[in-house]
Amino acid sequence: MPIKIPDDLPARRTLETEGVMVLGEADAVRQDIRPLRIGLLNLMPNKIKTETQFARLLGATPLQVELTLVKITNHVARNTAEGHISSFYRDFEDIKGERFDGFVITGAPVETLPFADVTYWDELRRILDWTQTNVHSLLTICWGAQAATHHFHGMPKHRLEEKAFGVFSHRNLAPASPFLRGFSDDFAIPVSRWTEMRREDIPASSGLTVLMEADETGLCLLDDPAHRALHMFNHVEYDSGSLADEYFRDIDAGLPVKLPANYFPKDDPANPPKNQWRSHAHLLFGNWINQLYQTTPFDLADVGGVAKELAA
Ligand SMILES: CC(=O)SCCNC(=O)CCNC(=O)[C@H](O)C(C)(C)COP(=O)(O)OP(=O)(O)OC[C@H]1O[C@@H](n2cnc3c(N)ncnc32)[C@H](O)[C@@H]1OP(=O)(O)O
Ligand SMILES: N[C@@H](CCO)C(=O)O
């Protein structure tokens, strides 16, 4: 239910309009509980929309969540005003001494590049290693999930012949998993990527379990207990109009993109899309927060087990 975010973060007004309970500093301290600390490393270019999407889902459970917005150290955002970044974001270098119950790493529109060509690849690898000592549970999204499964498990990223794009039916492969509690046998999830990770590349000894998969677009959600992580290759957090925004952006950029499948009514981009995935998104994030709450240490200092010295 309550999410604690800065009073002037744009997400606040949007979420209040939707009925999400948003806490200010003053109200939060009156609740005599330890909030769950969740970090969001936001690599998406549309940062304000992305903050709002994750705050909406993280703020919909009965627990108080304190959200920390994190950026790559010294990355200058091309698509977000500097004033917004300096007001609300902290560099990874500045938070690396802190501990978090949960940490989310978003997607990024860099998935056609080799990992090493992403300017912040070395820092992202350090962040992924840092989550193993300073974060209780990691959730990675789209390119973030590709990066994590590559870094932790050596899985290769494969280029697709055409963009996997649209809203696809996914299967529940692990109804007994606490992360899929309450999920139907199948459900719709938005997909938007030019690349994929493949089931046959999952190393046998990795301990990875496939929780969700789609016939058309393959792997969707992996449980990675060895790294206390969930890896989600698709975009359950997206707004109703996010795929439309990306479609028109890609068309304007001259990219060979097809109409997103199963999205615009009658496949007409003039028709506003219907949201078919909102309830699953809330269920998944609710289950993740529930698991966090059940398993995270009471004392944040104990998060991540035995602390290891961070590389300078
Ligand atoms: C058959 C075919 O060729 S299909 C080709 C498909 N190609 C692609 O998808 C190319 C990859 N992506 C892109 O071209 C573009 O990012 C698009 C089309 C998706 C978006 O275009 P634009 O909005 O003009 O991209 P823009 O230059 O603003 O970059 C988007 C984000 O990626 C980041 N980025 C771009 N290149 C890099 C890089 N090498 N390393 C790290 N970040 C990068 C930018 O910094 C920006 O993020 P920010 O706002 O946080 O700073
Ligand atoms: N789906 C995003 C990439 C990040 O997952 C995009 O098309 O920009």
Pocket-forming residues, ligand 2, beta carbon under 6 Å: 107-109, 142-143, 192-193, 246
The ipTM of this complex is: 0.88
Residue ranges per structural domain of the chain: 3-158+195-239+278-302
Per the document, the length of the chain is 312
Beta bridge partners of 91: 71
In this predicted structure, what is the pLDDT of residue 80? 98
pLDDT tens readout for residues 254-309: 999 999 999 999 999 999 999 999 999 999 999 999 999 999 999 999 998 644 44
In this predicted structure, what is the pLDDT of residue 30? 64
Distance 217 CA to ligand 1 centre (A): 22
Q: Which of 10, 15, 14 lies closest to 1, judged by CA?
A: 15
| Pocket of ligand 1 contains residue 240 by CB under 6 Å | no
Residue whose token pair is 């792997």:
219
| Inter-helix orientation angle 47-58/10-18, to 10° | 50
In this predicted structure, what is the pLDDT of residue 267? 98
Beta bridge partners of 4: 23, 66
Which residue's CA is minimally distant from atom 24 of ligand 1?
A: 253
In this predicted structure, what is the pLDDT of residue 29? 62
Architecture of domain 3-158+195-239+278-302: 3-Layer(aba) Sandwich (3.40)
Which residue's CA is minimally distant from atom 3 of ligand 2?
A: 109
The runs of H, that is alpha helices, within 46-192 are 47-58, 82-88, 92-95, 121-134, 143-153
Give every residue of the chain whose pLDDT is below 50, as ranges.
Answer: 1, 306-312
How many angstroms separate the CA atoms of 168 and 154, rounded?
27
| Pocket of ligand 1 contains residue 117 by CB under 6 Å | yes
pTM of the model: 0.94
In this predicted structure, what is the pLDDT of residue 49? 98
Distance 248 CA to ligand 2 centre (A): 13
How many angstroms separate the CA atoms of 226 and 239, rounded?
31
HSE (side-chain half, CA atoms, 13 Å) at 289? 28
How many angstroms separate the CA atoms of 205 and 173, rounded?
19
Distance 97 CA to ligand 2 centre (A): 30
In this predicted structure, what is the pLDDT of residue 31? 65
